[in-house]
Structure 1
Amino acid sequence: MNLHFVMDQTVLERVIGEPSVMRGQLQKLLDTAESPNTTLQVLPLNAGGSPGLEGPFSLLTLPEPIPDFGYAEGQAGMFYIEDREHVRRCTLRFGILTELALSRADSVNLIAERMSSFE
């Protein structure tokens, strides 16, 4: 199973809890990023407006013949995205986000820098 995450840099900037809590959370991200089947990218603040502003979503790709589908949560609840056109739009959004986001290595460096600020 391969996982690919794109997270907004604001997640790294917003302090939740004591410094030790923040260090622990950021260390967990770094540990996750070390997995060879996981790609973690940070969408930098200077990316400006992006498809990420439309809200969080997940895309799931399963073996044939099962079609790809999406999943989203919001104030209205959770829902599965099965309509082919809606799944295609989510796939395009994800592609744009991965292009705007920092590389895997730069993302890890940014997380490590942020973690060091909590020492």
Structure 2
Amino acid sequence: MATRGKSVAFARIRAEVIRLVALIPAGKFTTYGSIAIHMNVIARHVATVLSRLTPEESATLPWHRVVAANARISPNMPPESSLKQRHQLKAEGLRIDKEGYIQDADSHFHNVGVRRNIRWSEG
């Protein structure tokens, strides 16, 4: 059973991940790690939030604009999600090679911001 502090912290982390992903403009991308550094969490937290979106959130949130390190579509993603992400990024003008790496990444990278000093479990 999760402790109250942990579930409150996760709810706050989840809300912030969703807020930050919603701010990524079309034609741009960022990484799980960039969001994590900004939020002062680990990249796995960001990936977990995005992997557990509701169907409604997935339909409206530009989750496809978040990729793995080195500007690569995550090789850990289910194949159908990976293909969907590839198609959506290409539709926004990004070029992706056969290994899933975004080409000319520097010109398409969205900087989330500097690391914030946040303690997610505190009120």
TM-score (norm. length: structure 2): 0.32
Larger Rg: 1
Greater strand share, 1 or 2? 1
Q: Which has the higher helix share?
A: 2
What TM-score comes out, normalization by structure 1 length?
A: 0.33
